[in-house]
């Protein structure tokens, strides 16, 4: 049988198990959207801006572990995806972005709504394709999903000219992929694993430093088993929150780095062995590179060989999938206790807990109440800035894929559409976007998407009237010169939510927070809560730029911890 290219795209997506797509129509994708019109087993969620389609697909992927899919038209539709693609690229999220393109004969002629999206996205994708023959459609789409989801995951762009979607296709849909040279390492080198086991047996102050790669590899259980078997404390990156349960106050150190816990940073700087798993030693973690972990032998387990020794020189590299590597390591290591090391960390925890001063409605208090009301069982998405850091610090994550945030790129406007994607992928879960009053306005139009598709996402705006994190830097390092960070003109968020057909609520007093949250979470509708928090509250601890990670500014500014 013959079929149109647009129908081949849909059949190819079905073959990959795709059930949900996020997108926005336009001239070059009309054939694809027309073919979707009568399809019942593949649902498209209409967003209100293409950037939101990419973020929603990204949030869907993070929450479910499946490849997220977004669709946009040529030219401005495709370029509006770029920020979302770059966000997924920086955090290694499996994403397939299908973009329309002008007809093949018009490519390169500055046709209406033409943009070289493969050229534009080459630095921010794992791979991309421009299809010029309808016969290549099924193979390329299959390859795109394979590349996006294997090895170190990442986004793949498939650019499809409109005449290809209209062309007649004759042939097989389920074609073999053709990727010579693409063969990511899975199992770690046995000799290297034996070196790791020996180093762990000899260490007196070991530490596991777990990143988002652990979650992507589905290796959280292995990290937990290794930590308990060998009595090794665990600290995580922002992307690694949920790898190890933060309710375990003996071995969980929470997040490390610029706004990490003091006890995690002290542990890193005093450890004699650091086992880094699925982490990339980014600058927000290491602080001053030449002063990072001065006493530690460093082991780095990662599926991406280019990540090893890229930022920090390591002593024992192991390339492979985290789950396979840790399974192999667990067979080699023996039980061991480190009572003195564990007690030292407990002392740091007692002396330098996460804390905040009383007085007024504090954003940290709001996050703690969200944790209490949800029982710690929600999927928490965030925007970027102070709201993101407070969400990382004051909500206790116990499971992987429950903290969803833009880490590497720090994309404002990410959290709400990502929460929509997470809610689509996990319809029975409570999904909360912890937002700032600045970042929420970047994609607030997606309230329409949530209302139209009856997605009961909750937004808690920590409304401080500022672009909070930039204001914090201006306060601490720029003589309080709040250059264009004061948000003097704000909408009435409650009325705005109601205008979109969502529920709008407000809390202005600490006593109002818990009942407002309980009502919002229980109402089964998209709900926005405007929480008026203290305007000049800061995120602490804080490592100043260029500083060592054990030189932190504490809540009593500018006292060093």
Residue 305 belongs to a domain:
yes
Q: Which of 117, 138, 170 finishes a domain?
A: 170
The CB-side HSE value for 341 (13 A sphere, CA atoms) comes to 23
One domain for residues 344 and 369: no
Residue 553 belongs to a domain:
no
Q: What is the pLDDT of residue 171?
A: 87
Residue 544 belongs to a domain:
no
Q: How far apart are CA 173 and CA 335, in angstroms?
A: 51
One domain for residues 85 and 199: no
φ/ψ of 68, rounded to 5, equals -85, 145
Q: For residue 271, which of 249, 246, 253 has the smallest C-alpha distance?
A: 253
Q: Which parts of the chain sit beneath pLDDT 70?
A: 1-2, 556-561
One domain for residues 398 and 507: yes
For the chain, the C-alpha Rg in angstroms (whole number) is 24
One domain for residues 503 and 389: yes
Q: What is the pLDDT of residue 131?
A: 98
Task: Kindly state the helix (H) or strand (E) to which residue 532 belongs, with its residue range.
Answer: strand 527-532
Return the CATH number at 60: 3.40.50.970
One domain for residues 105 and 238: no
One domain for residues 373 and 337: no
φ/ψ of 196, rounded to 5, equals -65, -45
One domain for residues 379 and 336: no
Task: Kindly state the helix (H) or strand (E) to which residue 518 belongs, with its residue range.
Answer: helix 510-522
Q: What is the pLDDT of residue 420?
A: 99
Q: What is the pLDDT of residue 556?
A: 62
Task: Kindly state the helix (H) or strand (E) to which residue 459 belongs, with its residue range.
Answer: strand 458-463
Q: What is the pLDDT of residue 559?
A: 46
pTM exceeds 0.95, yes or no:
yes
How many domains are contained in the chain? 3
Written as six digits, the tokens of 4 are 């149109």
Mean pLDDT of the chain: 96
**How large a percentage of the chain has pLDDT more than 90?**
96
One domain for residues 478 and 426: yes
Q: What is the pLDDT of residue 557?
A: 44
One domain for residues 162 and 225: no
DSSP string, 88-135: HHHTT--EEEEEEE--GGGTTTT-TT---HHHHHGGGSSEEEE---GG
Q: What is the pLDDT of residue 173?
A: 87
Which residues form the domain of 14?
A: 2-170
One domain for residues 234 and 257: yes
């Amino acid at each position: 049988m013959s079929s149109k290219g647009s129908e081949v795209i849909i059949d190819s997506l079905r073959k990959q198990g795709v059930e949900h797509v996020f997108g926005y129509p336009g001239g070059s994708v009309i054939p694809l959207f027309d073919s979707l019109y009568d399809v019942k087993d593949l649902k498209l969620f209409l967003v209100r801006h293409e950037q939101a389609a990419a973020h929603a697909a990204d949030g869907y992927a993070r929450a479910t572990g499946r490849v997220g899919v977004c669709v946009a038209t040529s030219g401005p539709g495709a370029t509006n995806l770029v920020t979302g693609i770059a966000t997924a690229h920086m955090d290694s999220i499996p994403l397939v972005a299908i973009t329309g393109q002008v007809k093949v004969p018009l490519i390169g002629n500055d046709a209406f709504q033409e943009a070289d999206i493969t050229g534009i996205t080459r630095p921010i994708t794992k791979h991309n394709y421009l299809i010029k023959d309808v016969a290549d459609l099924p193979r390329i789409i299959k390859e795109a999903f394979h590349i996006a989801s294997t090895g170190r995951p990442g986004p793949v762009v498939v650019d499809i000219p409109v005449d290809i979607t209209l062309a007649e296709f004759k042939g097989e849909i389920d074609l073999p992929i053709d990727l010579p040279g693409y063969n990511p390492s899975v199992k770690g080198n046995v000799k290297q694993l034996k070196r790791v086991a020996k180093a762990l047996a000899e260490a007196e102050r070991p530490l596991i430093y777990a990143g988002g790669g652990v979650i992507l590899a589905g290796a959280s259980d292995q990290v937990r088993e290794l930590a308990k078997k060998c009595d090794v404390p665990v600290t995580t990156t922002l992307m690694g929150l949920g790898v190890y349960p933060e309710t375990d106050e003996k071995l969980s150190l929470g997040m490390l780095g610029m706004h990490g816990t003091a006890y995690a940073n002290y542990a890193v700087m005093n450890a004699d062995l650091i086992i880094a798993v699925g982490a990339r030693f980014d600058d927000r973690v290491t602080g001053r590179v030449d002063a990072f972990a001065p006493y530690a032998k460093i082991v780095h387990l990662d599926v991406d060989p280019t990540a090893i020794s890229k930022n920090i020189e390591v002593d024992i590299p192991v390339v492979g999938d985290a789950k396979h590597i840790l399974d192999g390591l667990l067979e080699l290591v023996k039980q061991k206790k480190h009572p003195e090391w564990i007690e030292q960390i407990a002392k740091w925890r007692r002396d330098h807990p996460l804390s905040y001063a009383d007085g007024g409605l504090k954003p940290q208090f709001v996050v703690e109440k969200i944790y209490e009301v949800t029982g710690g069982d929600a999927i928490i998405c965030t925007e970027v800035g102070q709201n993101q850091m407070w969400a990382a610090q004051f909500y206790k994550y116990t499971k992987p894929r429950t903290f969803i945030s833009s880490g590497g790129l720090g994309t404002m406007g990410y959290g709400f559409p990502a929460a929509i994607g997470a809610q689509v992928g996990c319809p029975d879960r409570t999904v909360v976007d912890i937002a700032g009053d600045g970042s929420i306005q970047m994609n607030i139009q997606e309230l329409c998407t949530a209302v139209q598709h009856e997605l009961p996402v909750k937004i808690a705006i920590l409304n401080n009237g500022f672009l909070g994190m930039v204001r914090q830097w201006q306060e601490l390092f720029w003589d309080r010169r709040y250059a264009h960070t004061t948000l003097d003109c704000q909408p009435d968020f409650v009325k705005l939510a109601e205008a979109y057909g969502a529920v709008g609520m407000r809390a202005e007093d600490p006593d109002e927070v818990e009942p407002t949250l309980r009502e919002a979470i229980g109402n089964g509708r998209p709900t926005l809560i405007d929480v008026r928090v203290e305007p000049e509250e800061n995120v602490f601890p804080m490592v100043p730029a260029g500083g060592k990670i054990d030189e932190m500014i504490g809540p009593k500014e500018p006292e060093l911890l």
